Structure 1
Amino acid sequence: MNEIFTRRSVRKFLPTMVEDEKIELLLRAGMAAPSMGNQQPWEFYVVRDKRVIQDLSRCSPYAGCAANAPAAIVVCSRDTNQRFPAFVNLDLSACVENILLEAVHLELGAVWIGVSPYKSREVIVRRAVGVPEGFTPFAIVSFGYPKDSGNERLKEDRYDPSRVHYL
């Protein structure tokens, strides 16, 4: 799958709005992720409001790149009625990775901005988006059309056979 090998963190975006159809495909990809016991612990907030995106860009020292994104998805955990709460972060990580891969497929750029497990980041995101109790902000995926042409996508081969052990 070419998307796996060409995915990269995109931090500079064109001001072009992303079509609703593409946003839905990103969300569908996220919801297609595997989860422990099929618990599907995710909840999503799609953000297009520039003021809210600015607030999100201040949630951590690494989130400033979100400021120029035309859109973002805040991925949250649903904190109640989880059968396997110890696996929620794994489930949400798979969800975010699916969103990132679908972004590449749709010729969008995206970057994963970590929120959890930092409570200070969670508080900022919760306030910015209005996340109610019972949900916990996990990550922000800021996305849009990349400022570069896409030709700069690296196909770096990270395979390291010294890290593989056959038994």
Structure 2
Amino acid sequence: MDAMEAILTRRSIRAYTDDPVTDEQVETLLRAAMAAPSAGNSQAWAFVVIRDRELLDAVPAVHPYAKMTPQAPLAVLVCGDVSAEKYPGFWVQDCSAAVENLLLAAHAMGLGAVWTGIYPDESRVEGFRRLFSLPEHIVPLALVPLGFPKESKEVSDRYDPAKVKRERWS
């Protein structure tokens, strides 16, 4: 799958088969995530790969929109490492780029995934900190449950010329 096909056909997948995702596949996903741009090339991110069924089952108690997590064979928790930032506050953009790379790589590999946002919802941030024993300098941005898709979704053309301005707003 070429890059444009991956970008234009990727969809949020919330249902997964029981087929396992290999360690090699996970490494490929993380390599893609870590290939994202970051402010000052600080790479102020950290990733927690979660396969433990008890932890995956516990996620919906701290994130109401991550109810698919107990059915996923694994999830990747994408976090900002504020102690590694060169430019304070840009970890959000850095980690967001990493999440998108991870989602596109998953799709290109035949996996399904969904971005579930955590930051800036403070109750979610604290819930994930407790559940995954995160130190204070690590801030959870997003959880990406993933696996082989049990569902397929229609491609959706989301281009909207009304959202495009040329040169200036008016």
TM normalised by structure 2 equals: 0.91
Instruction: Determine if the alignment matches structure 1 residue 13 to structure 2 residue 20.
Output: no
Q: State whether residues 73 and 141 of structure 1, in contact with CA within 8 Å, keep that contact through their aligned partners in structure 2.
A: yes
SS for the counterpart of 2:99 is helix
Q: Distance in 1 between matches of 2:162 and 2:112?
A: 32
1:28 Cα deviation from its structure 2 partner: 0.5
Task: Show the counterpart of 1:105.
Answer: 108
Q: Distance in 2 between matches of 1:118 and 1:35?
A: 23
Displacement over 4 Å in runs of 4+: none
Q: State whether residues 73 and 142 of structure 1, in contact with CA within 8 Å, keep that contact through their aligned partners in structure 2.
A: yes
Task: Show the counterpart of 2:133.
Answer: 130
Deviations 1:102-137 (A, max 9, x none): 000010000111110112111211222222232111
Q: Within 5 Å, give how 1:36-51 maps onto structure 2.
A: 36-51=39-54
Q: Within 5 Å, give how 1:107-122 maps onto structure 2.
A: 107-122=110-125
Task: Show the counterpart of 1:143.
Answer: 146
Q: Distance in 2 between matches of 1:88 and 1:14?
A: 33
Q: Distance in 2 between matches of 1:18 and 1:100?
A: 14
SS for the counterpart of 2:7 is helix
Q: Distance in 2 between matches of 1:153 and 1:12?
A: 11
Task: Show the counterpart of 1:159.
Answer: 159
Root-mean-square deviation (Å): 1.2
1:30 Cα deviation from its structure 2 partner: 0.6
Q: State whether residues 63 and 124 of structure 2, in contact with CA within 8 Å, keep that contact through their aligned partners in structure 1.
A: yes
Structure 2 gap ranges (5+): none
Q: Distance in 1 between matches of 2:94 and 2:81?
A: 11
Q: Could you tell me the percent identity over the aligned residues? A: 44
TM normalised by structure 1 equals: 0.93
Alignment-mate amino acid for residue 30 of structure 1: A
Alignment-mate amino acid for residue 146 of structure 2: F
Count of residues in correspondence between the two structures: 164
Structure 1 gap ranges (5+): none
